[in-house]
């Protein structure tokens, strides 16, 4: 994951400086209508649908938090989640606003920054200029009429074509070179971007000629490459893409993501289609959560990008591509990123573009609604060509399916698939289960003959005399949770308190989710810890959800409360051990000895609680 280096690393320090100069209210206001609410601001959350504002921004702490969906963090986290970008890109965007882009680039790229970053920036600028020039050729040149007619025949509205910045590359071999290649350095940048091709003999020519052009943008909306569609039957290949460059890597770019991100966040779903025209059609028909790969299979980078925006991905395959191994590997990459992956198969002879144009949006919505889970889809593909008419054919089909079934994490889903396969192959479900259990034991390293051993339950042993009443501690878990949050909030609001807690408490004294890491980071690094996006998100939720007044004078009582809670957890653990010993097999003498040791430990903890005044 693209994360900030912790501690006082150069990147951490420069990120802290950028964050301190930025105004989170100003940046968030570009995307959310905020209104004052006391010392904070409120608005409708951009990360989920709501009618009553539950999204808060604190200018004092430079944090945001949504009570509806739990999203929270600092200005970097906000942009990362909103625009589906990594920390580095978010840092650069904020740095550009506060005039620190050069400092950030220098830290990111070290000694190579000056030249490397300049080349990247100039490549992007040049391709933005190329996109504008291509757009003018499409809409305002006589030669562009061929491309305009093509768009009309394909039913692409001018509004959508202009929103996606479509263009046209003239037939002439040197049109773009003449328009932009005014210096030797610019020609070299055009070559690096793949916009012109240079032969071994030194002759140059435009890569894209006589083609409809689809500018490919990164998550920030900056043009980093192009896809070109042939307009005549004798043109090969049908689609021609920019080669990879310092700013364009196909494994990290999804066509249309910059425009689809708001709809993806709102709906909690992204639809991956196969082509540029499919994306245009989906957006034109109101299904704006659609993106496409740029001539490559889905990758782990794609999965991580999408996981920042939505929990679910629906991959829409044409019927003739659904079973291709590359497509299936792409599904595995998405699943590995923690996404809920579903598969929708477009009925033949259609692709998404033709289905929408011929049958309308309802037909596509039905296809998406009928999408299947990735495991169900994988099973269906594996069963194609199976021979259920012979024992050997059934055995071969089951053997092919076992790795898929074994990978299903849900026992309920796995059993449903076993039942479906059994019905399809006309064999008993228990036969598949037996082979599946053997395969799963083998995967765990137990071997095909591994067996589980069950031990008997020993007789009970009465240790009631060891355990005293603890009625005053029954509410300790709830109290401890409140104390943990309030102490963390105090450290967030008043970082100078941190040094007073060194050696008195550690992260191990905190039980709330993520609290241990946040406490240790705040004590060691103070406010600089909040440059970490995950810690900032947690800090934002803590600050926003507390309605209590800050009580610096309560530090000692917080420390004592957490110590008491720690001792109570230790008592509970000893009690569990005592219960386990009473039930275990073995000689009575051995069990009595163990119980005696536990009783001593229990008494020691109990005495510590008494000394703390908790009893």
Over residues 289-321, the pLDDT tens digits come to 999 999 888 988 898 888 878 889 999 988 776
Sequence-distant (≥ 6) Cβ neighbours of residue 377 within 8 angstroms? 322, 331, 342, 343
Pairing label, strands 372-373, 290-292: unpaired
Q: What percent of the chain has pLDDT over 70?
A: 83
Confidence at residue 357, expressed as pLDDT on a 0 to 100 scale: 95
| Per-residue pLDDT at 53 exceeds 50 | yes
Confidence at residue 2, expressed as pLDDT on a 0 to 100 scale: 43
Report the DSSP beta bridge partners of residue 56. 42, 65
| Per-residue pLDDT at 123 exceeds 70 | yes
Confidence at residue 207, expressed as pLDDT on a 0 to 100 scale: 96
Confidence at residue 443, expressed as pLDDT on a 0 to 100 scale: 55
Please spell the DSSP secondary structure of 509-572, one letter per residue.
G--STTHHHHHHHHHHHGGGGGGSHHHHHHHHHHHHH--SPP-GGGHHHHHHHHHHHHHHHHHH
> Tokens standing for 327?
């497509």
Report the DSSP beta bridge partners of residue 313. 270, 341
Crossing angle of helices 10-21/87-97, nearest 10°?
Answer: 50
Confidence at residue 282, expressed as pLDDT on a 0 to 100 scale: 98
List strand residue ranges (DSSP E) for 354-429, in order: 372-373
Question: Which range, 23-37, 96-110, 217-231, is most confident?
Answer: 217-231
Question: Which range, 47-51, 54-58, 155-159, is most confident?
Answer: 155-159
Ranges 368-372, 416-420, 505-509: which has the least confidence: 505-509
Confidence at residue 461, expressed as pLDDT on a 0 to 100 scale: 28
List strand residue ranges (DSSP E) for 194-281, in order: 196-198, 204-206, 211-217, 223-230, 239-241, 269-273
| Per-residue pLDDT at 322 exceeds 90 | no
Q: Give tens-digit pLDDT for 172-208.
A: 999 999 999 778 889 999 999 999 998 888 899 999 9
290 sits in which H/E element: strand 290-292
The C-alpha angle 377, 84, 128, rounded to 5 degrees, equals 110
| Rounded alpha-carbon distances, angstroms, from residue 39 to 35, 123, 415, 582 | 11, 44, 54, 57
Sequence-distant (≥ 6) Cβ neighbours of residue 97 within 8 angstroms? 22, 27
pTM, rounded to two decimals: 0.61
Confidence at residue 494, expressed as pLDDT on a 0 to 100 scale: 75
pLDDT, averaged across the chain:
81
Confidence at residue 309, expressed as pLDDT on a 0 to 100 scale: 85
| Per-residue pLDDT at 608 exceeds 90 | no
105 sits in which H/E element: helix 101-109
| Per-residue pLDDT at 1 exceeds 50 | no
Q: What is the mean pLDDT of residues 429-457?
A: 61
Q: What are phi and psi of 296, to 5 degrees?
A: -140, 165
| Per-residue pLDDT at 586 exceeds 70 | no
| Rounded alpha-carbon distances, angstroms, from residue 434 to 283, 393, 441 | 48, 18, 11
* Band of residue 171 on the pLDDT scale cut at 50, 70, 90: very high
Q: Give tens-digit pLDDT for 332-342.
A: 888 878 889 99
- Which comes out higher in pLDDT, residue 566 or 457? 566
- Which comes out higher in pLDDT, residue 429 or 102? 429
Q: Give tens-digit pLDDT for 247-284.
A: 898 888 999 999 999 899 889 899 999 999 999 999 99
| Per-residue pLDDT at 451 exceeds 70 | no
| Rounded alpha-carbon distances, angstroms, from residue 78 to 3, 58, 612 | 14, 13, 43
* Band of residue 450 on the pLDDT scale cut at 50, 70, 90: very low
Question: Which range, 3-12, 375-384, 446-455, 526-535, is most confident?
Answer: 375-384
Q: Please choose, from the candidates 78, 66, 68, 67, the residue with its C-alpha nearest in 3D space to the C-alpha of residue 23.
A: 78
Crossing angle of helices 184-193/113-140, nearest 10°?
Answer: 80
Q: Give tens-digit pLDDT for 530-543.
A: 777 678 778 777 77
Q: Give tens-digit pLDDT for 93-116.
A: 898 888 888 788 777 766 444 456
| Per-residue pLDDT at 590 exceeds 80 | no
User: Tokens 């430079």, residue?
Assistant: 62
Rounded-to-integer distance, Cα 256 and Cα 292, Å: 7
Q: Residue 375 in 3-state DSSP?
A: helix
Question: Which range, 132-146, 549-563, 578-592, is most confident?
Answer: 132-146
Confidence at residue 290, expressed as pLDDT on a 0 to 100 scale: 97
| Per-residue pLDDT at 288 exceeds 50 | yes
- The answer to whether the beta carbons of residues 78 and 24 sit under 8 Å apart is yes
Q: What is the mean pLDDT of residues 522-532?
A: 78
Rounded-to-integer distance, Cα 515 and Cα 483, Å: 12
The C-alpha angle 193, 196, 199, rounded to 5 degrees, equals 120
> Tokens standing for 512?
């709330």
């Amino acid at each position: 994951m693209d994360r900030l280096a912790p501690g006082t690393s150069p990147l951490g320090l420069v990120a802290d400086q950028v964050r301190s100069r930025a105004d989170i209210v100003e940046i968030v206001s570009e995307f959310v209508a905020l209104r004052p609410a006391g010392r904070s601001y409120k608005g409708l959350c951009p990360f989920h649908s709501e009618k009553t504002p539950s999204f808060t921004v604190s200018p004092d702490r430079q944090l945001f938090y949504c009570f509806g969906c739990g999203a929270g963090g600092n200005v970097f986290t906000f942009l990362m989640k909103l625009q589906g970008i990594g920390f580095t890109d978010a840092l650069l965007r904020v740095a550009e606003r506060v005039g620190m882009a050069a400092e950030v680039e220098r830290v990111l790229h070290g000694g190579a920054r000056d030249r490397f970053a300049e080349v990247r920036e100039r490549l992007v600028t040049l391709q933005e200029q190329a996109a504008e020039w291509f757009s003018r050729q499409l809409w305002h040149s006589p030669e562009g009429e061929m491309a305009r007619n093509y768009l009309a025949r394909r039913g692409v509205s001018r509004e959508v074509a202009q929103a996606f910045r479509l263009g046209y590359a003239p037939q002439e071999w040197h049109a773009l070179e003449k328009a932009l290649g005014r210096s030797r350095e610019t020609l070299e940048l055009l070559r690096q971007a793949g916009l012109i091709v240079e032969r071994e003999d030194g002759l140059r020519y435009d890569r894209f000629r006589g083609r409809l052009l689809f500018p490919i943008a990164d998550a920030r909306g900056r043009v980093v490459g192009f896809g070109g569609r042939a307009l005549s039957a004798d043109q090969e290949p049908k689609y021609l893409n920019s080669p990879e460059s310092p700013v364009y890597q196909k494994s990290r770019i999804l066509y249309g993501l910059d425009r689809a991100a708001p709809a993806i966040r709102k709906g909690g779903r992204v639809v991956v289609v196969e082509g540029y025209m499919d994306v245009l059609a989906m957006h034109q028909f109101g299904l704006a959560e659609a993106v496409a790969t740029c001539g490559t299979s889905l990758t782990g980078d794609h999965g991580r990008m999408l996981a920042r925006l939505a929990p679910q991905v629906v991959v829409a395959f044409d019927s003739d591509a659904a079973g291709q191994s590359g497509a299936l590997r792409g599904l595995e990459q998405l699943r590995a990123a923690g996404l809920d992956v579903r598969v929708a198969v477009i009925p033949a002879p259609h692709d998404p573009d033709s289905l929408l144009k011929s049958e309308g949006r309802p037909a596509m919505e039905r296809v998406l609604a009928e999408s299947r889970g990735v495991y169900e889809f994988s099973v269906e593909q594996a069963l194609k060509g199976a021979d259920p008419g012979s024992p050997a054919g059934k055995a071969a089909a089951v053997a092919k399916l076992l790795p898929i079934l074994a990978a299903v994490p849900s026992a309920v889903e796995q059993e449903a698939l076993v039942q479906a396969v059994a019905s399809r192959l006309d064999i008993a479900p228990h036969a598949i289960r037996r082979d599946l259990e053997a395969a799963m034991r083998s995967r765990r390293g137990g071997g095909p003959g591994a067996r589980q051993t069950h031990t008997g339950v020993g007789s009970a042993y009465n240790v009631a005399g060891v355990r005293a009443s603890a009625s005053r501690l029954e509410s300790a878990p709830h109290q401890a949770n409140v104390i943990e949050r309030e102490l963390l909030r105090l450290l967030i609001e008043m970082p100078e308190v941190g040094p007073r807690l060194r050696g008195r408490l550690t992260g191990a004294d905190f039980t709330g989710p993520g609290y241990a890491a946040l406490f240790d980071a705040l004590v060691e690094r103070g406010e600089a810890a909040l440059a970490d996006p995950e810690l900032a998100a947690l800090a934002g939720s803590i600050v926003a959800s507390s309605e209590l007044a800050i009580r610096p004078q309560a530090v000692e009582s917080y420390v004592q409360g957490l110590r008491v809670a720690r001792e109570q957890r230790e008592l509970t653990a000893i009690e569990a051990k005592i219960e386990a010993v009473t039930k275990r097999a073995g000689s009575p003498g051995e069990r009595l000895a163990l119980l005696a040791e536990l009783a001593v430990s229990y008494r020691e903890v109990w005495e510590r609680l008494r000394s703390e005044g908790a009893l």
